[in-house]
Homo-oligomer: A and B are copies of this chain.
């Protein structure tokens, strides 16, 4: 594990199966079997995904008889959220730019409409 925490977090999130697993875990502890049911893959594969999430610190495991329930630990997401948050002004900017564009377009339409009317 030479990889930094942030890379591990983003890397763990970069797989739809793992994101679905986290979504499921957000509703509470789940066993591997329950977790694997909705997926078209073997238990071992899901177990591997869990290990990835575990190494990223997003999941902790317990023991309940022969079950090893997984539970969510969202703390690494705080750093990820903070990192992305630093860029919020850029996508807000572009939404702002889009706004401007749409307003300008609207203005053109209004102007065109006025012209038509004054021409009639």
User: Shortest beta-carbon distance, A50 to chain B, in Å?
Assistant: 17
Copies of this chain, complex-wide, total: 2
Within 8 A of B (CB), among A42-90: 72-75, 77-78, 80-81, 83-88, 90
User: Shortest beta-carbon distance, A16 to chain B, in Å?
Assistant: 6
Partner of A90, one of B6, B14, B74: B74
- Find the B residue at minimum CB distance from A8: B14
What are 9 A-B residue pairs whose CB atoms fall within 8 Å in the complex? Answer: A10-B14, A13-B83, A19-B83, A22-B87, A26-B90, A75-B91, A77-B87, A78-B91, A84-B84
Top 5 closest pairs, chain A to chain B, by CB? A74-B90, A11-B14, A10-B14, A74-B91, A10-B13
